[in-house]
Amino acid sequence: MSPHVTVIGSINVDLFAQVPHHPRPGETILGDSGQRAPGGKGANQALAARGQGAEVALVGAVGSDSDAAIATERLRTAGVDLEELRVTTEAPTGLAAVTVSADGENTIVVLPGANASVTPEDVRSAVVRAAEQRIVLLQGELPRETTEAAVRRAGSDGHRVVLNLAPWGEIAPDVLRTVDPLVLNEHEAAAVATALALEIPEEPAELATALASSGIRSVVLTLGPRGAVVADESGARAVPAPSVSAVDTTGAGDAFIGGLVARLAAGDDLLTATSHAVRVGAYSVRHPGAQPSYPTTEDELP
């Protein structure tokens, strides 16, 4: 049986603008090019996991507008299960405005739209219908109470819950201590440490260890081109990333997480899965866009 992952998360259209540099406050600049493309952290991670061999179901909402087709086309083509995708007439499909500078770095402003309509009852019902011992993956772009409800229900039903708390938002400590792993970048990890009244070490390995020692089952701290750190009860281990020339970092973190959960669902331990995930992330930054940059099992990873 193929590994199975349920992703509960956001579904957006990304509006890209290529710019020579990111504008300063009050500055207007001319972009080089622009396009609309599918995005949203939930959709991105679902597609990335599917590309790495997992059977994936996506739970979320889109509007009854033309953007809904853009947001879901790649998911349908890839074979992501969209039976739990709800269409609402009360809000448009989510939109993310993405600016990508000449050096490949990006800034993103997200307008949630239909994503904000996903309720705790929606996600609890979806978890109840999920297969036994399934991995449930969530992010930070749905309403906070919805994410918390999903984590608690999935945990009580015996699923392994992976939470990518991006963007950061205050979340209940019992929810943080249910997930395995909690996946964060350095800024998000510092915010979680502050919320838990922990000291914030300068070294990433020490920061990940501090979070894991606070009662969180395991932590994966992503470090971009420096790779990642995995921390759990046995300590912290560094996972280096391949050296590549970045074209566009948009969605690279989502590529990483998709690769991570696909390998966890296939039975890898967390360290082995993270080693695979950094290679998936490294592949994605060599190509423009988010979803179009994600590798499949047929692509050679760096």
Q: Is 151 annotated as a binding residue?
A: no
| Cβ atoms 146, 122 nearer than 8 A | yes
Give the active site residue among 67, 254, 268, 299. Answer: 254
Q: Is 115 annotated as a binding residue?
A: no
Q: Is 232 annotated as a binding residue?
A: no
Taking 3-state DSSP, the helix, strand and coil percentages for the chain, each rounded to the nearest 5, stand at 35, 25, 40
Gap between the Cα atoms of 299 and 302, Å rounded: 10
CA-based nearest residue to 47, from 89, 7, 103, 18:
7
Beta-carbon contacts of residue 282 (< 8 Å; ≥ 6 apart): 241, 242, 244, 301, 302
CA-based nearest residue to 63, from 140, 17, 15, 10:
10
Q: Is 40 annotated as a binding residue?
A: yes
Q: Is 22 annotated as a binding residue?
A: no
Residue 235, number of CB atoms within 10 A of its CB: 12
Q: Is 258 annotated as a binding residue?
A: no
Q: Is 289 annotated as a binding residue?
A: yes
**Is 174 a known active-site residue?**
no
Q: Is 32 annotated as a binding residue?
A: no
Distance of CA 15 to the CA centre of its chain: 18
Give the DSSP letter string of 186-202: HHHHHHHHHHTT----S
Q: Is 41 annotated as a binding residue?
A: yes
Q: Is 19 annotated as a binding residue?
A: no
Q: Is 12 annotated as a binding residue?
A: yes
Binding site per annotation, positions for ATP: 185, 222-227, 253-254
Q: Binding site residues, as ranges?
A: 12-14, 40-44, 141, 185, 222-227, 248, 250, 253-254, 284, 287, 289, 293
Binding site residue list for K(+): 248, 250, 284, 287, 289, 293
Q: Annotated active-site positions, please?
A: 254
Annotated binding site for substrate: 12-14, 40-44, 141, 254
